[in-house]
Every structure is written in C-alpha cells, then in structure tokens.
Amino acid sequence: MRKKKKFNISLLAYVLCVIMMIIIIPCIADISGDVFRGKGRMSGYEEDSLYNDFIENNYEGLLEKTEYNTGIGKDIDKDTQDYYTFANAYKKAFNYKVYMNNGEKDKAEQVIKDIDSTQFNNVLFKEALENVKRIYIVILP
C-alpha cells in the first residue's frame, strides 16, 4: 500500500509569502518613485496641473495646489503667476461670503477692493474672476 503524503503547511505559507511579495513590490516601487523622483510630489505641482484645475473650474483644487507649492517654497515664475493670483482672489471671494454671513461688512468691503485691484497678464483669468464674483459676491446696497 501507498502512504498518503501529509499536507505541508510550511510549504503553503512559503507560497503565500512569495505571492504577496510579488503583489507588494510593484506597489512599493510606485509609491517610492513618486516620493523620490524629481518630478514627484516633493517638487510641487507643475503648470499643467494648475492649468487643468483652472480650465475645469476646479478652483478649490487650484487653491489647494498653489498653497501647497507656496508652502514647500516652490519658485513662482512669470508663466504661473496668474494661477497664484487667481487662487488668492478666489480665496478672498469665498472669505467675502463668510464675512457677510458673520455681519462683518467692513472686512467684506475691503475684500471687494482687494479683488477689484487684482491684476492679471491673461484675460482668461480676469473673466473667470468675474464669474467667481457673480457667484460669491453680492453687491452691497
């Protein structure tokens, strides 16, 4: 008669570990690449990312990215200056609504003056800011 082979649990554990390593290694490599690559998150957001948020009217995302870039000390060049200026004006327009809801009309009026004095190199930003003003800012009586 033939002997039945016993089930080897250590072999099963070894096979499962190998399968898990095969799955985990590419994930770790991808995350490490983002962190340590020259164009990863540690170098900030580039102009094309800011442009996409602006064109898609994702002004919250644009504000978040410009604040992140400013926070890590990324240099702002002439080509991207309008994105930062617009994001700042967008934040002020949102603050206007908060001030009005809290009854702080003096601060709200100052915000309107700041927004109206905003200068852009590109007309698209000025038009977008006018749309934001229509949404957030109610003209005071």
Each residue of 55-99: pLDDT tens digit? Answer: 998 989 999 999 998 888 888 888 889 999 999 988 988 888 888
How far CA 15 is from CA of 4, 8, 22, 24, 85, in Å, comes to 22, 11, 11, 14, 56
Q: What is the pLDDT of residue 87?
A: 92
State if pTM tops 0.75.
no
**Cβ-contact 76, 66 below 8 angstroms:** no
Q: What is the pLDDT of residue 77?
A: 86
Amino acid code (one letter) for 135: I
> Cα-atom radius of gyration of the chain, to the nearest Å?
26
User: What is the DSSP secondary structure assignment for residue 103, as one 8-state letter?
Assistant: T
Q: What is the pLDDT of residue 2?
A: 62
pLDDT in tens, 17-47: 999 989 888 877 777 665 555 555 567 888 8
Calpha distance 92→114 (Å, rounded): 8
Torsion of CA 40, 44, 50, 51, to 10 degrees: -60
Q: What is the pLDDT of residue 141?
A: 45
Q: What is the pLDDT of residue 19?
A: 92
Q: How many CB atoms lie within 10 A of CB 62?
A: 24
Q: Cα 12 to the chain's mean position, in Å?
A: 44
**Cβ-contact 99, 107 below 8 angstroms:** yes
**Cβ-contact 133, 115 below 8 angstroms:** yes
